[in-house]
Chains A and B, each alone.
Chain A
Amino acid sequence: MRHLRPFLLLAALLLAAPAVQAQLYQAPGPTSPTSKDQVELYAPHQDKEVGIVSIPDSKLAVLVQPEGREWRGFRTVILRWGAAIAILGMAGLLLLFYLVRGTIRIGEGRAGRTVPRFAALDRFAHWTTATSFLLLALTGLVVTFGRPLLIPLIGHPAFTTLAQSGKAIHNFLSVPFVFGILLMIVLWVRDNIPEKADLVWLKTMGGLFSKSGEHPECGRFNAGQKGIFWAVVLGGGALAATGFLLLAPFALTGIGGMQIIHVVHGALAALMIAIILAHIYIGSVGMEGAFDAMGTGHVDENWARDHHRRWYDEQVGKGRVDPPPAVRPHPAE
């Protein structure tokens, strides 16, 4: 009898097989398809489908991510149009402003005497950040707009060489860019704390639109310059942070996070280029005497009195400039 038991068990199992099979394979129910036309082939995916993988690359556990479609829309349409409108729009506005207002002159003309404004280290910090930003912007624009604009002109192989070297330049220049920003924070942050006088400046927009040449009084930096400082420190800092995360892909986040980081980097970059365009304009052709500050480091006395009266008076108080003479010397005849 004991030897028979396994056979009886087997016989029982065999007899019960159809039932077991039905349990295992879920016999067709009333909703099961009966013809081929009823089979859903295109089962739609609305959201990410994530499982597990047995390979080390854990980011591949994402089976389907339909969000890639939205990122594609941002990269090919929104970013290109947005950046083009921001950058060309700013250039157009500046051109219009130049045609209406012209170069902002020094009220009484150049005095011929100068006041030291930016030391060598100040200018080093500025130009380190400036050159690396310009090259970063240029190489970024090449990658963003090169396919529709440059490939038809120079062809695929030449553009790949350009984009490849542009990518390397973009990656490596992030280091001097961040170094310059850190140096600027150390050098200038105490002069860029917002104060009450900034409100007056903002109300009149620093006299930008008044032909009378009136300037609200302000210290070393006016509200506009403070705006540029904080835009560069915060915007540039955010660009650097997102850029480094893009440089070390998937170090902190998965695919969704990487897409968001890229969106932030692209949108901020377009905004920063537009802001810096305005900065370049007002620091060069837009205002007489402004370039000297970052060029030679010495600004004209009358420019300083026009734009930074309080700072100028402080410099006079410290004895860093000659006191204004009572009578203006006439040039020798």
Chain B
Amino acid sequence: MARMKFLCDAERCIECNACVTACKNEHEVPWGINRRRVVTIRDGEPGERSISMACMHCTDPPCAAVCPVDCFYQTAEGVVLHNKDLCIGCGYCFYACPFGAPQFPQTTNFGGRGKMDKCTFCAGGPEADGSPEEFQKYGRNRLAEGKLPLCAEMCSTRALMAGDGDVLADIYKERVVRRGYGSGAHGWATAYASRNRGDALAPGRVGTGGS
């Protein structure tokens, strides 16, 4: 079975923010929540790059490890999802996440956090696939419809790719060989480094209660 990953080719991203807008629109994400964002590093200097970043669906997800109520789970395809009925909005996952993926709606005047929201790889949540409850809590479940995440599908320069990690790696490597250069797939070492293989939290293993 395919191991789902994101890959953003920093040499191709033009910071158009179409992925951000597509995500917001597809999932009807509320104000103040950014499941995906574009970060520009070395802005205005030589070597400026833009990278579209969201949940990377790590091999050994730190969010799942630190969650005090154990609300995360990983699907057989490696997609990291969470159960909003269990989440208490403590914010620990944001401290642990290397990519700043977890988002919290502000629910009180004292900075209190509501239930965490993050990129689902367009794979919904624990509710029945395509149900109104699932859409209301987690957004569209495109994977269940046989479609890939909309952010990557709409990327006009094909900088952002989503799908089987091995295929993405192959496409990226071929591009680098043709171009003669590449700045590395940002976040891959942190999210999918091979040293995490065999960990209890790897996809489908006991640690995350993976299905």
Contacts and interface: CB of A to CB of B under 8 A. Distances in A.
**Do chains A and B interact in one complex?**
yes
Interface of A: 25-29, 32-36, 38-45, 49-57, 59-66, 68-69, 71-72, 75-76, 143-144, 146-147, 151, 156-157, 159-160, 163-164, 167, 171, 247-249, 251, 255, 258-259, 262
B111 A36 contact: no
Given A53-B40, A144-B68, A167-B89, 5 more contacts: A28-B179, A35-B177, A50-B41, A64-B99, A262-B95
A1 B84 CA distance: 73
B100 A62 contact: yes
Contacts of A65: 98-100
Contact of A39 (B53, B71, B177, B194): B177
B173 interface: yes
Interface in B94-142: 94-100, 110-113
A41 B184 contact: yes
B66 interface: yes
23 contacts: A33-B182, A39-B173, A40-B182, A41-B185, A43-B189, A64-B99, A64-B190, A65-B98, A65-B100, A68-B62, A68-B98, A71-B66, A71-B96, A72-B66, A76-B65, A156-B69, A156-B71, A156-B83, A247-B111, A249-B94, A251-B111, A255-B94, A255-B100
B67 interface: yes
Contacts of B20: 55
Contacts of B110: 171, 247-248
A43 B177 contact: no
B51 A63 contact: yes
Contacts of B113: 249
B88 A53 contact: no
B112 to A, nearest CB: 7
A53 B51 CA distance: 10
A49 B62 CA distance: 18
B95 A54 contact: no
B86 interface: yes
Contacts of B99: 63-65
Contacts of A258: 95
B96 A75 contact: yes
A209 to B, nearest CB: 41
Contacts of B37: 53, 55, 57, 60
Nearest to B32: A57
Contacts of B6: none
Contact of B43 (A32, A52, A57): A52
